[in-house]
Amino acid sequence: MQKQQEKHTEKSKSCKVFGPVATVFGSSNTGSWRLLRPVVNFGECIKCGTCERYCPVNVVEVHEDKDECVAIDLDYCKGCGICANECPRKCIAMVDERSVE
């Protein structure tokens, strides 16, 4: 767990966009208590990379060569909804964690 957090903290340092969520909570594992989770409609995604650029904790990766083209590290996603808000296709839904699984 400790090593995983340290690894993620190093990754976050390379992020271009920092905000309070990233600087204070970036390395916190939020996978078990986040309230909302981003769910991508891959069929509508145009792989523009906007979500990747705007995520304050740098947990989004867009893969142009894959059908499931947007990968989100849900162990560290904060559920802030910035990706969903910025997506030009509005193909990211913020879903109540209690309604999944």
Strands 60-62 vs 70-72: parallel, antiparallel or unpaired: antiparallel
CB of 59 to ligand SF4, least distance (A): 5
The token duo for 51 is: 């979500």
Distance CA 18, CA 47 (A): 22
Q: Residues 23 to 82: which contact ligand SF4 by CB under 6 A?
A: 38, 40, 45-51, 55, 57, 59-60, 62, 70, 72, 77-82
Residues near ligand SF4 (CB under 6 A): 38, 40, 45-51, 55, 57, 59-60, 62, 70, 72, 77-83, 87, 89, 91-92
